[in-house]
Structure 1
Amino acid sequence: MQTYGNPNPTYGWWVGNSVVTNRSSRFIGSHVAHTGLICFTAGASTLWDLARYDPSVPMGHQGLVSIPHLASIGIGFDESGVWTGAGVFFIAAFHLICSMVYGGAGLLHSAVFSEDTQNSSGLFAPDRPEHRQAKRFKLEWDNPDNQTFILGHHLIFLGVANIWFVEWARVHGIYDPAIDAIRQVEYNLNLAHIWNHQFDFLTINNLEDVMGGHAFLAFAQILGGAHHIATKMGSGLLGPYTKFKGAGLLSAEAILSWSLAGIGWMAIIAAFWCATNTTVYPEAWYGEPLAIKFGISPYWVDTVGPIDGAPLGHTTRAWLTNVHYYLGFFFIQGHLWHALRAMGFDFKRIRDAVVNLDNTRLTLN
């Protein structure tokens, strides 16, 4: 965190990142516990959706949170292809069980294990190889070799998740709104199509191209992850770590800002996808496409309605789109805040300037 030269800074209780900044095991614990909260929320909201789902009303008009996503990937259908909610309870219960496991792991990292993985040792066999391996995940925010090593593992996990999704579509099948049924989808790994779709991705209207994009991402992420793990930034293939490449900027605050930028842009892109694309977000589960309006800022409204019985009278697509967009907007503001702090800008100067301006006015009066 930015200290502005103060070797012993103090932070308010709300600055949660300051507690784990230089404690890698606590940092991992917070990540794992956060994952547990996400799993618990997913499981609980799925049960809530299932309890209030009314088969006589279109799913997209009921303001549901989780089961539209499950329906999109082919979960909840009977053998004849009709959505009945079959298997959805299992998915909810599985997430709740996982949340307890993640929560327990978070507590272990927070209360039992060493605060820093570089001091890691087992409770019964401190010299086992896995404990020595854990020490490699220590946090050195200004060390590019340490950070690129950790980044590589993140990229590989993302690549594996993409493979999992592509294989699920190929083997199990997902919902295709073009035929109103579940079908197996073979990915179309056409590099020319993938290149062209980076400019018109919102108009993709077939699942083969969707899966092809995910297959390409899997390849790129795993290859990139292996590269980051195997090479060194400090003196790697691209030469020494210079100021042009970010030397002097790498810090916990900078990495936090980049993380916020990434999740912010993903949320905004997801909002545009959800608002208009009916292949990835089928009308049957999310409701009709939206119209964009402009006030103080952009927002999306239903093209049908108001919808009786739906929360606030809106489709699932409407609230999902707007929530994603505004969360993404505020994530981007957080990125700018932390990026400027990482570059050394002291926001207290703004406060001091305003105070001095007010004092000057009082003196003149």
Structure 2
Amino acid sequence: MQTYGNPDVTYGWWVGNSVVTNRAGRFIGSHVGHTGIICFATGASCLWELSRFDPSVPMGHQSSIYLSHLASLGIGFDEAGVWTGAGVATIAIFHLIFSLVYGGAGLAHSLFFDPDLQEGPIGRVDKFRLEWDNPDNLTFILGHHLIFLGVANIWFVEWARVHGIYDPSLGAVRTIFPGYGDFGMVWGHQFDFLTIDSLEDVMSGHAFLAFLQISGGAFHIATRQIGEYTKFKGNGLLSAEAVLSWSLAGLFLMGVVAAFWAAGNTTVYPTEWYGEPLQFKFGISPYWADTGDISDCKYFFGHTSRAALVNVQYYFAFFCLQGHLWHALRALGFDFRRIAKAIGGLTESTAS
């Protein structure tokens, strides 16, 4: 984190990142604890939405963000293929249980394990310690992250192949497996992916992502830094602030893509579970408006689940972009105190 040349800077309690700077063990503890919070929120929200669910009202017109995602995955249907919420409570309770496990692991990493990961009970744990200006170290850790993401994509493809997911064109859950090799088709959807109307194409895209991520992960783990470590490759720039800025940029990109996709695509976001497609409008700022009859929408201030999901994603992405710019400038060495000084000098000159 930027210290503006003061080696003894003290951060306030609200600057949470300061306690994990250069402390990989604490950083891992924070990640695991954060996962526990997400798990708890997911489980609790599923139970909350399930307890309020009214089968006489379309799911997309209720407070049903979590139920909608589970229904899209083919979860909650009875043997006749009707969505009844079967099994949803079990999934929610499992999330609550695992949130305790993650919370305990986060506390263990934070309180008992080496905060710097210089040594530990597991061999070669030091390989995962964070050294912000060490490209070999960062690319090694990045490689493992990419492999985990690739495995998650494979899991999703296999879920669709074995269990099946909801197909809005049939109004039923069906198994989908387009294979792992048709990457040419995926490449052809670079500019029209928002209009994809085939679940086979969707799953092929996930298979392609799995291939890219696992290949990229293996490359980063095996090769480390190639050639001289120059300014072009980040010498003098790599820092906690820089990595945070790039992470926020990634969240911005994903949030915007998710907003535009969820607003109009009814293959990945079926109308049955999310409500009718939205219309893009511009008032004081951009927003998406409902297009169907929302007289029976009692939640989300009288809007559909799709409208709530899309608008929140979009503005979340917008603020992530602001955070990215802020931290990127700080990583480059920009001193924001100069702005206050400039405004103060301008005020003084105007007063005189």
Q: What is the TM-score with the length of structure 1 in the denominator? A: 0.94
Match of 1:294 in 2: 282
Match of 1:114 in 2: 114
1:168-201 deviation per Cα after TM superposition (whole angstroms, max 9, x unaligned): 0001000000000000001254222211211001
Q: In the aligned structure 2, how far is the partner of 1:267 from the partner of 1:190?
A: 27
Q: In the aligned structure 2, how far is the partner of 1:26 from the partner of 1:119?
A: 14
**Aligned letter for 1:351?**
A
1:123-182 deviation per Cα after TM superposition (whole angstroms, max 9, x unaligned): xxxxxxxx2221111110010000000000000000000000000000100000000000
Given the alignment of the two structures, is residue 358 of structure 1 paired with residue 347 of structure 2, yes or no?
yes
Q: 2:253 aligns with which of 253, 265, 269?
A: 265
Residue 96 of structure 1 deviates from its aligned partner by 0.4
Q: 1:202 aligns with which of 194, 209, 213?
A: 194
Match of 2:150 in 1: 159
Q: In the aligned structure 2, how far is the partner of 1:328 from the partner of 1:196?
A: 26
Residue 57 of structure 1 deviates from its aligned partner by 0.7
Q: In the aligned structure 2, how far is the partner of 1:307 from the partner of 1:206?
A: 31
Q: Is the 8 A contact 2:61 2:294 kept in 1?
A: no
Match of 2:321 in 1: 332
Q: Is the 8 A contact 1:305 1:313 kept in 2?
A: no
Question: 1:215-364 alignment to 2 at 5 Å?
Answer: 215-233=207-225, 236=226, 239-311=227-299, 312-362=301-351, 364=352
Q: In the aligned structure 1, how far is the partner of 2:198 from the partner of 2:78?
A: 24
Q: In the aligned structure 2, how far is the partner of 1:289 from the partner of 1:63?
A: 17
1:273-297 deviation per Cα after TM superposition (whole angstroms, max 9, x unaligned): 1100000000000000000001232
Residue 210 of structure 1 deviates from its aligned partner by 0.2
Residue 75 of structure 1 deviates from its aligned partner by 0.3
Give the SS at the match of 2:188.
Answer: helix
Q: In the aligned structure 2, how far is the partner of 1:55 from the partner of 1:306?
A: 16
Match of 1:126 in 2: none
Q: In the aligned structure 2, how far is the partner of 1:323 from the partner of 1:346?
A: 31
Residue 309 of structure 1 deviates from its aligned partner by 4.0
Match of 2:166 in 1: 175
Residue 9 of structure 1 deviates from its aligned partner by 1.4
> Structure 1: any 5+ residue segments left out of the alignment?
123-130
Residue 245 of structure 1 deviates from its aligned partner by 2.0
> Structure 2: any 5+ residue segments left out of the alignment?
none
1:20-74 deviation per Cα after TM superposition (whole angstroms, max 9, x unaligned): 0111111100000000000000000000010000111110011212010000000
Count of aligned residue pairs for this structure pair: 350
Q: Is the 8 A contact 1:166 1:187 kept in 2?
A: no
Give the SS at the match of 1:117.
Answer: coil
Give the SS at the match of 2:279.
Answer: strand
**Aligned letter for 2:235?**
A
Match of 1:146 in 2: 137
Residue 358 of structure 1 deviates from its aligned partner by 1.3
Match of 2:42 in 1: 42
**Aligned letter for 2:136?**
D
Q: In the aligned structure 1, how far is the partner of 2:187 from the partner of 2:209?
A: 12
Given the alignment of the two structures, is residue 74 of structure 1 paired with residue 74 of structure 2, yes or no?
yes
Coordinate RMSD, CA, aligned:
1.0
**Aligned letter for 1:361?**
T
Q: In the aligned structure 1, how far is the partner of 2:230 from the partner of 2:115?
A: 32
Q: In the aligned structure 2, how far is the partner of 1:155 from the partner of 1:195?
A: 20
Q: Is the 8 A contact 1:26 1:115 kept in 2?
A: yes
Q: In the aligned structure 2, how far is the partner of 1:85 from the partner of 1:102?
A: 26
Structure 1 residue runs of 4 or more that deviate by more than 4 Å after TM superposition: none
Q: What is the TM-score with the length of structure 2 in the denominator? A: 0.97
Q: In the aligned structure 1, how far is the partner of 2:43 from the partner of 2:310?
A: 21
Q: Is the 8 A contact 1:187 1:210 kept in 2?
A: no
Q: In the aligned structure 2, how far is the partner of 1:307 from the partner of 1:142?
A: 56
Give the SS at the match of 1:77.
Answer: coil
Match of 2:26 in 1: 26
Q: In the aligned structure 2, how far is the partner of 1:67 from the partner of 1:103?
A: 24
Higher mean displacement: 170-179 or 243-252: 243-252
Q: In the aligned structure 1, how far is the partner of 2:10 from the partner of 2:333?
A: 18
Q: Is the 8 A contact 2:119 2:125 kept in 1?
A: no
